[in-house]
Structure 1
């Protein structure tokens, strides 16, 4: 507390004391107390309000520096002339609007490395999600060590190098899976007393797992790394899937660790006998026979493999020739281009992506929908509606269309019409859609008031007809 604040607080306490004690109240005029209260209020407004504005301006500048240094395929509407807390994509602020509380930019095509002293300046940040991007290089140590950070989601990128050893003591969930981190797992991770979820799978981490007991840890995944040694007893309560893919790791819940065999003692030497040369000769003959058998067997196997490949090529050639003949007979000399199968081959940049309507503030992709927990809300003649709960409690309704055969252009035109109808205040707006040959999804806002059917049936005694 500043000296001026202490002085003002003492004056206020003295003011209330004098009002409860008449002799004291006579010592100082009432006008002086009123003036002191006004001065204290002005001091707080003049001193603390600029500090809050300065902190928000510092957060704003740090975000602008990050956006300028890290290329991104999806356009961000981060503009220095607009308010950060209400109009910037992926940004949420504290209740009083004085600091940036969370930053969520999943799957927007961020590329390159994150410079230090950009996001590391957001010292009031609690949630950071940059998952499913193309970020690479080393992870700056000032990001996981943010003092207020509780949730850090950086999975499905290409970060490399060692994992930083400094972490926020408030960290609750840490997900660095599907990257290229190397080195040992920092011991400081296991000392985080608030940690409930740790996911480091599909990296290149090595070394032994330290024998510690994180009391609040409920979810652990260290699979598919290069870890070695035995699994500590404090972590054996986790399932087998938490440790698979580490060939040098052993102990429950994996296979038991085998004892190291003792080196065999040297065989005693005996004086040479006339039988020894005959034994050596038989060993040489036996080893030579084994070599000849192996060579013959390998040649036979190789011949069979070549023969099978040759027969497969002949059969493929015959089938292609018959297919071409059929195509010419049925198509009148025109060859039809084969239809592209969904999800086959190399994925195009805009393929298998959700299409969001203008004004939508959601920041998730198709992968998030597929991994979300779903609950059936109802079934209709055109499909089934699901309630999907995504990461950090974002809830939407997903309408899965069935037996709808329509081309992509016609489908997009229909979605534009439905999107314009959704602008009516009495209609739930369509936020996004997904199109492929085998799957068509519609994404709406979730309304917790219940369905129209429930409302109608709940009030059927007021209606002249039963619906």
Structure 2
């Protein structure tokens, strides 16, 4: 018997067949593109893509509901190494989100990224990309979030970035961009270009953002930073160009000025200029004579200066920048009335270590070393050859007596892991601190790798310095972060900027930015640091050493979680090995030590203060690691019962492990 289908039934059957085929569809071209990418780029073992499975089921891959295209690719901290090949990711024509931050990708972004016309979010921060601003990105006008932070991009920020009309978040910090910032017309909500080499004035369209968005660019000026014409020590900020007034072409809007009137105006202007110049010369001569007669000569033993370099592990680097004041050198040296002599005096603490006075300091050649969260630091080379660092503080609210009492207390701190304060100056408009010169050249986030033994040396020495401040001097540091841990040439650490929190206002924005990323949860409300909040900040520092990640970068994930929460989430998912810096994978037989230090760090960053160890207890736990290590290292590592010193009062030497000659990423 022959069956026949009615024409009315053919259409539903065909639709059913097409729907079945559609439900089992596979984005074949996108799969091939991703296979090509992973075949050429080394990656972590946990990202194991099964070619027999659907690409939509692969780790980090998300498809659209119909499974016809790949819509997002999220592979943060996936151990990706090397350049991104052309004709791979650039073929994902329907891609909406690309997140490949926290890897070791190099080179520039491929030119075929311009094909990703549907891309809305691009996160490539914390890699090792280089070259100029990727031109392919300026064609992606659907982009809303662009994160190129913590790489090695250089050159100028192109004006063509204004093509990205949908952009609301732009993160370019911790790179080597130079030149002026273009006026960006996008309706930005988040913006950061800190720690680059940018110069010139900040465009008005961007002046609404806080100074932390621009800090670390020593030649930037204008709101919200210090005005372009302010100066104290020689300032790197460019002076605004002189505005030459144009001669009015008409009088009363209709008639031009006569030739005689123009000549008269020119002669009058010249005479006025000469009179003004004579007045200025007279005032300067009189002021110089007055200042020299009141200079006080403070004598003390001359001393050499030890060199060092700033640590900046994981990029904690630069602070919030400085607004600055308009005080000049003359303001400091021309004290009038009975207080003039006092105003012109440096106070050397604990006997001092140098033989110069304020006049010598102000005559010194100087250069800006960096802008930190508590002020700006200058390297001053005096005429007799002595080199010191002068820190110009901002937002100080303490009175003279309170300030002097605090500085005398800080001057008593003597420990190999604490940067010594040498002198201070207090006046109504200026507060200065003088330290030994330490050649501050911040390494920056991810710029320079440290081996495991040097990271342990930093962890141990920093703990000793903080325990000394807590136990011996009853001082709360209040500003612990990687940029305040300085390294001597042998990588011995010394903590700086300690004990200053109580002289600043607790309501200023600089206080909020002072320890951003390191701040304990309870300090957000009380704004008063404690011994236990110091322990929390130290725990974040340990996490930096272990992960190689900065706690104050744009984001550790697409939702911007902080470093402790990110570590907790990874450990909770039993991916503990993914927490550690990939640079440490080159060293053998350190896994147990890394896990032990991670456990100490997680105890330090406990949300509840009472659950955190004290600083001496944290130090003791780290020293216990050295004790156990000494059983297999023939006693190379030492320990001590003193919470602030090693067995001989010095940081114990540590074994140097060399990486194997060949490493498979």
TM-score by length of 1: 0.51
Structure-2 residue corresponding to 1:79: 50
Cα deviation for residue 186 of structure 1 reads: 2.4
Q: 1:34-433, aligned counterparts within 5 Å?
A: 35=10, 49=22, 53=26, 56-86=27-57, 88-143=58-113, 145-167=115-137, 168-215=140-187, 217-258=188-229, 259-260=240-241, 301=302, 343=459, 352=546, 372=561
CA distance in 2: counterparts of 1:371 and 1:342, whole angstroms? 27
CA distance in 1: counterparts of 2:184 and 2:98, whole angstroms? 27
Q: From the two aligned structures, give the one with the greater strand fraction.
A: 1
After superposition, the CA RMSD in angstroms is: 5.1
Cα deviation for residue 66 of structure 1 reads: 0.8
Cα deviation for residue 198 of structure 1 reads: 0.4
Paired residues of 1:164 and 1:186 also in contact (CA < 8 A): no
Paired residues of 2:198 and 2:220 also in contact (CA < 8 A): yes
CA distance in 2: counterparts of 1:157 and 1:72, whole angstroms? 14
- Structure 1 runs (4+) deviating above 3 angstroms are 30-42, 48-53, 259-262, 300-306, 339-348, 366-371, 394-398
Q: Deviations over 1:222-259 (max 9, x none)?
A: 11111222111111111111111112222111122234
Gaps of 5+ in 2: 230-239, 244-269, 271-297, 308-352, 354-414, 417-454, 462-490, 492-540, 548-554, 574-590, 606-665
Q: Deviations over 1:245-283 (max 9, x none)?
A: 112222111122234579xx9xxxxxxxxxxxxxxxxxx
CA distance in 1: counterparts of 2:195 and 2:101, whole angstroms? 19
CA distance in 1: counterparts of 2:241 and 2:601, whole angstroms? 55
CA distance in 2: counterparts of 1:96 and 1:395, whole angstroms? 31
SS in 2 for 1:255: coil
Q: Deviations over 1:184-239 (max 9, x none)?
A: 11223223122111000011111222223212x10000111112221111111111
SS in 1 for 2:28: helix
Q: Deviations over 1:130-184 (max 9, x none)?
A: 1111111111122365111111111111100012223322111100000010111
CA distance in 2: counterparts of 1:68 and 1:243, whole angstroms? 40
CA distance in 2: counterparts of 1:371 and 1:440, whole angstroms? 22
Gaps of 5+ in 1: 1-29, 266-296, 309-314, 317-338, 354-365, 375-385, 399-407, 413-432, 443-467
Q: How many equivalent residue pairs?
A: 295
Cα–Cα, structure 1 residues 109 and 396, in superposed 2: closer, same or farther, change >3 Å?
closer
Cα–Cα, structure 1 residues 434 and 157, in superposed 2: closer, same or farther, change >3 Å?
same
CA distance in 2: counterparts of 1:132 and 1:108, whole angstroms? 8
